[in-house]
Every structure is written in structure tokens, then in C-alpha cells.
Amino acid sequence: MNFKYILGLIFAVSLFSSCDKYLDVEPKGIVIPKRFEEFNGILNAAVNTNCYPDYLVYATDDINASYSPVAQDPIANAYFWKSIIDVDNDATPAIWGSLYRQIYNANIIINNIMAVTDASEAQKKRLLGEALVERANAHFVLVTAFTKAYDPVTAGSLPGIPWVTYTDVTTKTPDRSTLQATMDKIVHDLKEAEGYLDANRLNKVRINKAVAQAILSRVNLYMGDFPEAKKYATLALQEPHEILDYNAYEYPSQEEDPEMLWLRTATDYTMNYYVYYSNDLLHLFEGDDLRLLLLAYDLGDGLYMRGENGWGMYGIRFSELKLTQAEALVQDNDLGGALDIVNELRALRIADYAYEPLVSSSKAEVMNWVINERRRELAFSSARWMDMKRLAKLGLGSKATRQSSDHEDLLSIDPANYSFTFEIPSRVLMLNPGMPKNF
């Protein structure tokens, strides 16, 4: 079956809405730029920058939304953790389609950028590095949605996802490699990119070495490799930054915010105007936690989700890297080091008059504090679905509940027996007979 069917649809002539005027049609429907700035423009396209699947935000336990359990809607299916999200086989597959489009864009650059003649080797390698990170991260998000949780014992036998490295839409769809093979390729792309990148970039939407290292930290955390997660978090934290004191917060723009490493938004960047904090999440905040006061919207019918400057943020914050360090330190039995990080952050987030440092010699208690602080600090971020899945595998997950508008429980999932995995979209399975299913 041709690669065009991996998307569950036929490719349009161009996927690059922001740079259509630069692009010509090549044989077999492949769109190949010719000049460096044309390749550079691909990375500014909305399919790359507004790329985190909103379905995975709705699937987290951070959100309360006004959906019915019987609604026939892909968002509602994700929200109520149904294994099959899509309801229309004629539509672009949820999560799957947009991420493979992003991979297609990245491959256009990866496979062609070094042949251009109007840029230096350093410029071409830097763009190659960015595209390798884009491809690796898109495959990683697909892993969090469409494969079982990573376990080094079983990853060699569980199916991963199709790994796509080419742009010829007539090429046969790749098989689902093993989960271990998929993760190995993600790490390989990121490490290769790290070698091409430096500290330079156009803006925080774009990728530099620190972003590649931060994603390597995420990927290793997801795999439970805590020493590597801590190593790459520490490397990424060498990027100039500051964790702001919310006792004197002045709402910087996202580009100027020293807490932001990498800016990304979701495929639906307006969702923060119509979803609420879940009660599960609200109950984790202390009364004097300034994050609710400064970053939540109270319109009288509940607290709306966090947003800076009206936009949700689905990239990476420096505070995420610090909390990854803290979790790794707990795993290494360095409770004092972990508490130093958590208390340093809490001192900047709790009202001055109410702050008291946390003290404990219990590993379980300190781990619980780290996990809860991570959830508060990274509320509504691209880390939460990944965290729900990996923490469940570690036996550290928490029950998640959907409630009605009058706060009656509708549905709950137990992390001990829920897989945090969606089925491969039915349209993709239909067009690719023989592709292994998840259930």
C-alpha cells in the first residue's frame, strides 16, 4: 500500500500554506523547494508550529469540558478515553494525520537541504538539525498516542509506529516497527540533530541545541531512563533562562518570557477559551498558589484553562526540565537535592506570606510532592498525557474522573488497568490491510 495511505488521505499539491508561492510541483506530486529560504519557510508553516494534537489535551485529566459520553465526536471520544477516536472515515485521521503531515514536511528538508547551493554548510546543517528534531518529536507524540506504554522488557515485541523517512507518496507504507526500534530511531534523530545545532535560532518557535536536548530529556523520562533524562535536562538548562517570581509577575510576551524554552501551540490554539480546570487538578493547588490567580480565567462558571497572552503553550518550559531533574534525583535517592529544586520553584509560585519549605525523609512522600508539583506547574501542557501514561506504568499514576456540569461523576479510569493507548485510526487500517492493531 502506498505511503499516501499512511495519512488516510491523498496528499494535496502542497502542504505548506505559508510558503505555497515558493513551491513548484515535482513528478509524482512531490513538492520540492529549490532555495534555502524556501526550505526555511517550511518550518514556519502552521502545520509545524500549531502542531500538538488538541485531542491529546482533551484526553488529559487536567480538563473538564461539556461533552456527553454518548456524543459522536472525535474530541468527545478522546475526552472519554474511548479506544477509537474517529467517527468519520472520510476525514483526516485524528492525531495521526496532522503529525504525519509534519513528518512529511520535515523529510522534505532532511532529504534535500544539503543539495542547495545558496547557503553555507553551517546554515544547511542547522536547518537539517531542526528538521530532524521536528521528525523525531512528531514520531514521539505518535508513540504516546498509538503504542502501549514503554517497558524495556516488552518494547522489543510490542508494535511501534510506521517510521517515515521519505516523501515519495507512491512508496509503500512502512510496517509498524517494534516499539524499541521506534524509540531507538527517535533518540538517534535527536542525537544527530544535537550535533548540527548550536545556540542560535530565529526565535523561540524555532529549534536550537537546547531544544533538542530538552526533547531528549522528555523521551528518556518517558522510557524511564532517569540518568539520561537528568543529563539532558541539565544540558538544556545551560540555555540562558530565569524562573520568574510570581509575587511580582508582569505577564511577559511568550517570545520574551525567560521561562520559555520552546514555543508551540496546539492544532486548536483557541481551546483555552472553552475548557475548564478539572476538580482533580484544582484540588492539587494550595489556596495561596499564585498560578491560579495569575494564569487561570474566572468567568463565573468555573476556572478556564491556563494561557499566556491568550494562547496555550505546548512546547517546553525550563521549569519542566528542573522538575525532571528532581524526579531523577528522587529515583537516585537524593531526596535533599530533589527538595531543593521543588522548594526553589514553590518559593516563586506561592505567595510570600504563605510559603513554607517542604521537608521529608520519605522517598514516597517526596516523589509524590515532585509529581504533584510537576502537574501544577505544567498544567494543560504537552507533557501531561505523556506523564499520565508513564506514571501509570511506574505504579505512580492517579485515578482520573470525568464529571458533569453539576459535578456528578460520569466515568473514571484506573491507571492500573487503563492502557492510555488509542487504536490506529480505522481509515488507516482500512487503507493498509495487515497493519497490526492495538486491541
- Per-residue pLDDT for 30 more than 60? no
Residue (of 333, 385, 340) closest to 358 by Cα position:
340
| pLDDT of 172 over the 60 cut | yes
Task: Write the pLDDT tens digit of every residue in 260-296.
Answer: 999 998 888 777 777 889 999 999 999 999 999 888 8
Confidence bin at 311 (pLDDT 50/70/90):
low
Distance CA 318, CA 254 (A): 13
Q: Under DSSP, is residue 424 helix (H, G, I), strand (E, B) or coil?
A: coil
Neighbours of 332 (CB within 10 A): 13
In the chain, the percentage of residues whose pLDDT exceeds 70 is 91
Q: What is the pLDDT of residue 25?
A: 27
Average pLDDT over residues 143-170: 95
pLDDT digit string (tens) for 183-192?
999 999 999 9
Q: Is the pLDDT of residue 7 over 70?
A: no
pLDDT tier for residue 365 given thresholds of 50, 70 and 90: very high
Q: Residue 308 has what pLDDT? A: 60
Do residues 134 and 106 lie in contact, with contact meaning Cβ atoms separated by under 8 Å? yes
Please give the pLDDT value at position 18.
36
pLDDT for residue 414 is more than 60: yes
C-alpha closest to that of 241 among 339, 351, 322, 337: 322
Average pLDDT of the segment spanning 160-181: 91
d(CA 163, CA 142): 10
Residue type, 359: V
pLDDT higher than 90, residue 245: yes
For 249, list phi and psi in degrees, rounded to 5.
Answer: -80, 140
Of the candidates 265, 255, 258, the residue with the CA atom closest to the CA atom of residue 239: 258
Q: What are phi and psi of 357, to 5 degrees?
A: -70, 150
Q: What is the mean pLDDT of residues 233-252?
A: 96
**Residue 19's pLDDT band (boundaries 50, 70, 90)?**
very low
pLDDT band at 3; cut points 50, 70, 90: low
Per-residue pLDDT, 21: 28
Confidence of residue 173 (pLDDT cuts 50, 70, 90): confident
CA distances from 338 to 358, 365, 378 (A): 11, 12, 17
Among 171-175, 194-198, 245-249, the minimum mean pLDDT is found in: 171-175
Confidence at residue 37, expressed as pLDDT on a 0 to 100 scale? 96
Q: What is the pLDDT of residue 378?
A: 96
Q: Say if CB 78 and CB 85 are below 8 A apart.
A: yes
The pLDDT of residue 405 is: 80
pLDDT value at 352 more than 80: yes
Residue written as grid cell 496546539: 266
Instruction: Quote the pLDDT of residue 209.
Output: 98
Dist. CA 360–CA 366, nearest whole Å: 7
What pLDDT sits at residue 24?
26
> Is the model's pLDDT at 11 over the cut of 80?
no
Note whether 314 and 52 are within 8 A (CB): yes
Confidence of residue 377 (pLDDT cuts 50, 70, 90): very high
**Residue 277 near residue 289 (C-beta atoms within 8 A):** no
Instruction: Measure Cα distances from 420 to 43, 80, 136, 314, 427 in Å.
Output: 30, 11, 21, 19, 21
**What is the reported pLDDT for 22?**
25
Give the pLDDT score at 8.
53
Better-predicted residue by pLDDT, 220 or 311:
220
pLDDT of 27: 35
Task: Report the pLDDT value the prediction gives residue 1, as an integer from 0 to 100.
Answer: 53
Q: What percent of the chain has pLDDT over 90?
A: 77
| Residue range 306-325: mean pLDDT, rounded | 84
